[in-house]
Amino acid sequence: MRILLTGGAGFIGSHTAVALANAGFEPVLFDNFSNADPDVIGPICELAKQSVPLCHGDIRDAKTVENVLRTYECEAVIHFAGLKAVGESVAKPLDYYDNNVNGTISLLEGMKAAGVKTLIFSSSSTVYGDPDQLPLTEASPLKPATNPYGRTKMMVEEILSDVTKSDDAFCAVCLRYFNPIGAHPSGLIGENPNGIPNNLLPYVARVASGQLASLKVFGNDYPTPDGTGVRDYIHVVDLAEGHVKALQWALGKTGWTAVNLGCGRGYSVLEVIRAFEKASGRAVPFTFAPRRDGDIAENYADATLAKTLFGWEAQLGIDEMCRDAWHFECQRQKD
């Protein structure tokens, strides 16, 4: 069964392509390479042990989406494509609404024309905003986003809900990711942001390898055990497996569902630094800096629904996440 992966050459898309292939699906990748490298297809095919088609195209072009869905006779779409840098979204809101919201609308038009009615969407725990209560369940209140990136995730969830109401054969599953990190244990694929990384793990990896001098820990006065921000980090290989399980569940179902994908426990920035130092055998020098605008103190998931519905649960802990991120960083530098 062929599955279209928009943003299939990106960090989570590439790992999901491998996981789908290993589960007996045939992934078809679609990407505009705005934040991904077409050369990732080599390692993907190697790890997938099959030839994986990679189409260069933009989700904002509904006709191209329709053509690719028809050509490959895809039966479902996993929709990763989108812009994802919180700070950039404040500076360039129109780019975010265009790529993430308009892009999803034209993707849905392409799917409608091709008669494809199953969609798994990359949502985010950002839809919960600053939580009143932890852990976060899917019934926790959604809060207005503090930046355009978060608003696009919220809007797309609502658009998908409306689409399932208008078409009772449509199935939309919104997967609310917590903080995906790590890399494939082979070291062949991983997260490789352009320029100076915004997110904690890629930054820490570059400090450990000596490419960046020191990490700024944003805030040490949060109401958390050590004062630094706490997040539910999830290994990207577990996350990819979550997409396979969600897809297997969604095929043949209808309606709108939102499901958390997290480990169900939080780690502070200082705990992540210590785990990374242990995994890499390198020091990660840091200094404390003021809180970053828009950051929250703490979030972590209740991941029970994913287990109940899909039979999925994260298997890998922070040590494996850091080990694999470090392995990828070392491989990346050799290239």
Active-site residue set: 149
Pick the binder of ligand WQD from 199, 209, 224, 331 (CB under 6 A): 199
Span from 1-9, 60-68, 95-103, 214-222 in contact with ligand WQD (CB under 6 A): 214-222
Report residue 308 as tokens. 């109940």
Instruction: Please give the Cα distance from 193 to 127 (Å, whole number).
Output: 23
Pick the binder of ligand WQD from 6, 106, 118, 179 (CB under 6 A): 179
Provide the minimum distance between the beta carbon of 11 and ligand WQD in the complex, in angstroms, as a whole number.
8
Angle between helical axes of 11-22 and 236-250 (0-180°, round to 10): 60
Provide the minimum distance between the beta carbon of 151 and ligand WQD in the complex, in angstroms, as a whole number.
12
Site for ligand WQD in 42-101 (CB under 6 A): 84, 86
Instruction: Please give the Cα distance from 160 to 123 (Å, whole number).
Output: 11
Pick the binder of ligand WQD from 45, 98, 218, 277 (CB under 6 A): 218
Instruction: Please give the Cα distance from 86 to 52 (Å, whole number).
Output: 31
Instruction: Please give the Cα distance from 245 to 243 (Å, whole number).
Output: 5
The answer to whether residue 126 forms part of the interface with ligand WQD (CB under 6 A) is yes
Site for ligand WQD in 267-326 (CB under 6 A): 269, 292, 295
Half-sphere exposure in the Cβ direction for 36 (13 Å, CA) = 30
Q: CB nearest ligand WQD: which residue?
A: 229
Provide the minimum distance between the beta carbon of 181 and ligand WQD in the complex, in angstroms, as a whole number.
8
Closest listed residue to residue 315, CA positions, set 240, 235, 261: 235
**Residue 42, class by beta-carbon neighbours within 10 Å (0-12 exposed, 13-18 middle, 19+ buried)?**
exposed
- Alpha helices, H only, the chain: 11-22, 41-48, 62-71, 86-91, 93-96, 103-114, 148-166, 200-208, 236-250, 269-280, 304-310, 318-334
Site for ligand WQD in 1-40 (CB under 6 A): none
Pick the binder of ligand WQD from 56, 63, 165, 216 (CB under 6 A): 216
Q: For residues 112 and 292, which CB has a smaller minimum distance to ligand WQD in the complex?
A: 292
Pick the binder of ligand WQD from 60, 79, 231, 327 (CB under 6 A): 231
Span from 30-38, 197-205, 243-251, 310-318 in contact with ligand WQD (CB under 6 A): 197-205
Span from 44-52, 134-142, 215-223, 326-334 in contact with ligand WQD (CB under 6 A): 215-223
The answer to whether residue 203 forms part of the interface with ligand WQD (CB under 6 A) is yes
**Residue 189, class by beta-carbon neighbours within 10 Å (0-12 exposed, 13-18 middle, 19+ buried)?**
buried
Pick the binder of ligand WQD from 64, 67, 198, 304 (CB under 6 A): 198
Determine the size of the site formed for ligand WQD (CB under 6 A): 18
Span from 18-26, 199-207, 250-258, 314-322 in contact with ligand WQD (CB under 6 A): 199-207
- For residues 60-96, b (16+ Cβ closer than 10 Å) or e, as one string? bbbebbbbbbeebebbbbbbbbbbbbbebbeeeeeeb
What are 259's strand-pairing partners?
175
The answer to whether residue 200 forms part of the interface with ligand WQD (CB under 6 A) is yes
Phi, psi of 53 (to 5 degrees): -65, 140
- In the sheet with 171-177, reading across from the earlier edge strand, the strands are 54-56, 26-31, 2-6, 74-79, 118-124, 171-177, 255-261
Span from 63-71, 133-141, 167-175, 195-203 in contact with ligand WQD (CB under 6 A): 195-203
Q: By CB under 6 A, name the binding residues for ligand WQD.
A: 84, 86, 124, 126, 179, 198-200, 203, 215-218, 229, 231, 269, 292, 295
